[in-house]
Amino acid sequence: MELNQLTIHELQEKLKNGETSAVKVAESVFNRINAVEERVHSYIRLMKEEAMSAAEQSDKDLQSGKAGPLSGIPVALKDIVCTKGITTTCGSHILHNFIPPYDATVVEKLASAGAVFVGKANMDEFAMGSSTETSYFGPTRNPWDLTRIPGGSSGGSAAAVAADECIASIGSDTGGSIRQPAALCGVVGLKPTYGRVSRFGLIAFASSLDQIGPFTKDVEDCAIMMNVLAGYDPLESTSVKAEVPDYRQYVGRDVQGWKIGIPKEYFIEGIDPEVSAAVKDAIAVIEKNGGQCVDISLPHTEYCLAVYYIIAPAEASSNLARYDGVKYGLRTSEARDLLEMYKKTRREGFGAEVKRRIVIGTYALSSGYYDAYYKKASQVRALIKHDFEEAFKKCDIILTPTTPTPAFKIGEKTDNPLQMYLSDIFTISTNLAGIPGMSVPCGFTAAGLPIGMQFLAGHFEEGKLIQIASVYEKNAQIEKRRPRL
Amino acid sequence: MEFETIIGLEVHAQLLTDTKIFCNCSTKFGGSPNSHTCPLCLGMPGVLPVLNKKVVEYAMKMSLATNSNINKSCSFARKNYFYPDLPKGYQISQYAYPLSEHGYILLDVEGEQKKIGITRIHMEEDAGKLVHDEHNPSSYVDLNRAGVPLIEIVSEPDMRSPAEAADYLKRLHEILVYLEICDGNMEEGSFRCDANVSIRPLGQKEFGTRTELKNMNSFRNVQRALEYEVKRQQYLVENGGTVVQETRLWDDAQGVTNSMRSKEEAHDYRYFPDPDLVPVIVDDAWIEKIRKELPELPLARRQRFVSDYQIPAYDASVLTADKALADYFEEVVKLCSKPKAASNWVMGDVLRFLNEEKRDIRNCPITAQALAEMISLIEDGTISGKMAKDIIDEMYKTGKSPRVIIAEKGMVQITDESALAKTIQTIMDANPNQLKDYRSGKEKLFGFFVGQVMKATQGKANPQKVNELLKKMLVG
């Protein structure tokens, strides 16, 4: 096995006992990038120079005993988290030249844990999309089938992990943008509880839904990443001062007697039969290992998509108002007056999907429509949250498919936004309720495409997700495959 | 037709916190453009607001001082509109859930106390400003002011004349300055006022259509603009026209208001709760803590001046209009125990000097100690009131104490009876005709002799003593 194919915990071991060096690990990752990046296009920008010097520093730290938990571990960052001095585009033309003078809190945390940043990963423009096709910088391809999408919006982060172009990565999830690409790329992806990981420096899409989380090759790595990422941040008002456990301690703990809620609303017609079968097999594995399935209901599920597509665009329409050509980013080359500058800058700077959502959101907040749309959606959101509160009285964990289908073809849904939106149908409710959710690989289709299933838990119960995911991972004995690139 | 005027005011007051409402940048006025900015107040992507607790406390002070009910929970909303001085494309303000509501302040209207209702007080951030270059078709953006904390104080439509509105504004201003939460500088924009005004035929219940007036940067202009607008609306109605709901700008130079935008052109601000901020929870303990920090407010102080110092209500209101002036007055009284004299000197000469030079009492060359000393010197007869007039001029010019001035100029009053008697005798001898006329009943000539004595003593003679002696000696 090549170094770039290993997990964080495997590399930690090798780095600790001197079997390899951070520089060698970084080189191995960049060699892989050289070999496959042209086809996969996981990255908007590579940070080789910075990475190599960070790797050298990691080696010094490892030698002097000052190593952090991620010393020498190559990590990719979704291009939505601000990196001081390094262009951060959010996948958009309007920010193609934006260089933040600050680091996102997660970037600071990862850096001080010793992580080596490989580059800025591709994404749907402003995280609006489920396929990474709306990126101004061109789509990312699914490493398992280059004619297919990797999912989105964090498609670059998922593909980079799946293609071994990094060891772990950071994504953000507003309605499934970590879990859906994790499922479609066959990696582990966790969306933490809202308020668990700092949003400071995360370019906002929908502030009440956005949350940063990790992509990893296995569950234990997810726990290692969460140990670094989680925690209160005084720079964010919605950050929560809840105790952060050592997530690694949950890895391998049994789930004897746990009640596994199976929501009937998530096992509906229209789900791809192979996905359905894989999830059913997974349920059997969990039952065999001590879990007891209980039927539960999340009665407001049918409204999730509608509620999401009012609240998220409404917040986005306001969050994206700052991209006006005045202060940074793109400014149209010629305009006769202020209004023309605004219009041309935003017309040239935003892609079609972003514009669509700005229009929807602006409409939903307009005087005369606010009550019927935004206000009503907020009320239904409270009911959706309540559904989960009730459900978690009956079970410890909820299990669902992550996506209704495996990865679809590039271009297949770009002309049909509603079809595209449906690929997040199982992940959106989590963000509306603010609870954590995790996608774990649970097999492959006959055509060799990865399938993912999703675990959901109550607020701040990421530990439970890691616990059950690790039990499943250990006992499912899913064939270890790597994409043929 | 007789009309009634209806006025409501919206006041924006900049709070005197050291740092901005959602970041740690300085709130200092001036400073080179964009020197008091950071990624947050520049509206950069990904940065998040964190509320400055001082802002809440200052706003709570104003709420308590205006008898408003502080809501147990309030929250922030985004007011969305595009303008280059608004870096995020929205202003963080409060909308559905303001900090406080249902307050009032009291005005003296023709000797009666009148309550002016305060609808709400809410917190928000200020915008930056645009700088235009005459010689260049560009505009520049200075965001030093972006994020400076403001409170907006919205009144009920309770005022019935422009004068009443101006009075309300002065009282509000007074309270803010007393609380030391706003410097009240209207020219620099730290105290700004918009007015809503309408008229209705006397006796009609429904309000007429209102217009909103902006761009009035002094108390006087608020009153002038309102007076103009009331006349304009009356003229319209009396001549078969109708008032249009619109925003109008006051043009100070022309003394008129001009239409800025109609109701149809008004922005749709698309307010919605700001998802980056959590509700502000205010418990009773916090309110009580703030209540204990409140200073004596202008109205209470005015009443206390009347009852404790036995000075007229008018004097009390002049003296308390400015907190520093009232402090100065009280210091003088404390040192000389002569409130009425202190009030006369402060309201007379001291204020006259300051007004002439547009100076603030805080920079007055006459210290409270010096003024008290001077009043004591009059009381103990060392100097006369007339001499004091000259001395106080000198005190203002030089900042010297009255004793120093008296010593330098040899201005001590002559109270020595034998010396004065000698002078009077000399004058009587020198004016035998006048003396004869006086003694034959021309009592008006008494003043002539007083004048002669004062002339001979260069005004230093103690007038009371001169009177007594003259009365005795002229009779013969």
Residues of A in contact with B275 (CB under 8 A): 206-208, 238, 315
Tokens 């105290």 label which residue? B191
What is the predicted pLDDT for the residue at B30? 82
Q: What is the mean pLDDT of residues A89-100?
A: 98
Question: Do residue B49 and residue A237 have CB atoms under 8 angstroms apart?
Answer: yes
Q: What is the pLDDT of residues A44-86, one digit of tens each?
A: 999 999 999 999 999 999 999 999 999 999 999 999 999 999 9
Residues of A in contact with B84 (CB under 8 A): 324, 326, 338
Q: What is the mean pLDDT of residues B309-334?
A: 90
pLDDT at B468 over 90: no
What is the predicted pLDDT for the residue at A178? 98
CA B468 to chain centre: 46
Please check whether the domain covering A3-251 is classified as CATH 3.90.1300.10. Answer: yes
Residue A261 CB-half CA count within 13 A? 22
A292 and B CB contact within 8 Å: no
- B447 membership: H or E segment, kind and range: helix B446-456
What is the predicted pLDDT for the residue at B101? 98
What is the predicted pLDDT for the residue at A223? 98
**CA angle, A281 then A282 then A288, to 5°:** 90
Q: What is the pLDDT of residues B46-85, one digit of tens each?
A: 999 999 999 999 999 999 999 999 999 999 999 999 999 9
Alpha-carbon span A51 to A118, nearest angstrom: 6
Confidence of residue B392 (pLDDT cuts 50, 70, 90): confident
Q: What is the mean pLDDT of residues B307-336?
A: 90
Q: What is the mean pLDDT of residues B125-141?
A: 89
Confidence of residue B135 (pLDDT cuts 50, 70, 90): confident
In chain A, the percentage of residues whose pLDDT exceeds 90 is: 95
In chain A, the percentage of residues whose pLDDT exceeds 70 is: 100
**H runs (alpha helix) in A352-445:** 352-365, 376-394, 417-422, 428-433
Query: Taking the CA atoms of chain A, what radius of gyration do you get in angstroms?
Result: 21
In chain B, the percentage of residues whose pLDDT exceeds 70 is: 100
Alpha-carbon span A4 to B194, nearest angstrom: 65
Question: Which residues of A are known to be catalytic?
Answer: 78, 153, 177
Q: What is the mean pLDDT of residues B17-40?
A: 95
Structure tokens at B202: 């006397």
A238 and B CB contact within 8 Å: yes
Q: What is the pLDDT of residues A412-434, one digit of tens each?
A: 988 888 788 888 899 999 999 99
What is the predicted pLDDT for the residue at B466? 86
A322 and B CB contact within 8 Å: yes
Residues of A in contact with B33 (CB under 8 A): none
What is the predicted pLDDT for the residue at B151? 98
Q: Write down the ipTM of this complex.
A: 0.96
What is the predicted pLDDT for the residue at B10? 97
Q: Which residues contact B57 (CB under 8 A, 6 or more apart)?
A: B290
Confidence of residue B263 (pLDDT cuts 50, 70, 90): confident
- A36 membership: H or E segment, kind and range: helix A22-40
Q: What is the mean pLDDT of residues A173-196?
A: 98
- Is residue A431 within 8 A of residue A175, CB to CB? The reply is yes
Burial class (CB in 10 A: 0-12, 13-18, 19+), A85: exposed
**CA angle, A89 then A95 then A98, to 5°:** 80
The alpha carbon of residue A105 is apart from the nearest alpha carbon of chain B, in Å, by 10
As a whole number, the mean pLDDT across chain A is 96
The alpha carbon of residue A263 is apart from the nearest alpha carbon of chain B, in Å, by 29
Q: How many CB pairs under 8 A join A and B?
A: 102
Confidence of residue B112 (pLDDT cuts 50, 70, 90): confident
Q: What is the DSSP string of B216-244?
A: E-SHHHHHHHHHHHHHHHHHHHHTT--PP
What is the predicted pLDDT for the residue at A381? 98
Q: What is the pLDDT of residues A309-340, one digit of tens each?
A: 999 999 999 999 999 999 999 999 989 999 99
Q: What is the mean pLDDT of residues A118-137?
A: 97
Between positions 326 and 365 of A, the ones with CB within 8 A of B are: 326-328, 338, 342, 362, 365
Burial class (CB in 10 A: 0-12, 13-18, 19+), A355: middle
What is the predicted pLDDT for the residue at B397? 85
- In chain B, the domains with their CATH numbers are 3-289 (no CATH), 296-409 (no CATH), 417-475 (1.10.10.410)
Q: What is the pLDDT of residues A343-387, one digit of tens each?
A: 999 999 999 999 999 999 999 999 999 999 999 999 999 999 999
Alpha-carbon span B24 to B17, nearest angstrom: 11
pLDDT at B430 over 80: yes
Q: Bridge-partner residues for A396, per DSSP?
A: none
Confidence of residue B467 (pLDDT cuts 50, 70, 90): confident
Alpha-carbon span B291 to B129, nearest angstrom: 35
Q: What is the mean pLDDT of residues B363-384?
A: 84
Residues of A in contact with B39 (CB under 8 A): 100-102
Q: What is the pLDDT of residues B454-463, one digit of tens each?
A: 888 877 788 8
What is the predicted pLDDT for the residue at B395? 86
Question: Do residue A238 and residue B49 have CB atoms under 8 angstroms apart?
Answer: no
pLDDT at B450 over 80: yes
- Probe site for chain B from A237, A240, A319 (most B CB atoms < 10 A): A237
Of B251, B273, B270, B247, residue with least CA distance to B259: B247
Strand arrangement of the beta sheet that strand B272-273 belongs to:
B90-93, B77-80, B272-273
Which residue does chain B place closest to A84, by CA atoms? Answer: B39
Q: Bridge-partner residues for A78, per DSSP?
A: A121
The alpha carbon of residue B287 is apart from the nearest alpha carbon of chain A, in Å, by 22
Burial class (CB in 10 A: 0-12, 13-18, 19+), B351: middle
Q: What is the DSSP string of B24-51?
A: S-B--S--STTSS--TTTTT-TT-----
pLDDT at B261 over 90: no
Residues of B in contact with A236 (CB under 8 A): 48, 50, 276
Q: Which residues contact B224 (CB under 8 A, 6 or more apart)?
A: B162, B216, B250, B255
- B112 membership: H or E segment, kind and range: strand B112-125
Which residue type occupies B169? L
Structure tokens at B421: 């008697």
A234 and B CB contact within 8 Å: yes
Greater model confidence, A233 or B399? A233
Q: What is the mean pLDDT of residues A252-281?
A: 94
Q: Which residues contact B267 (CB under 8 A, 6 or more apart)?
A: B81
The alpha carbon of residue A253 is apart from the nearest alpha carbon of chain B, in Å, by 36
Confidence of residue B408 (pLDDT cuts 50, 70, 90): confident
Phi, psi of A270 (to 5 degrees): 105, -15
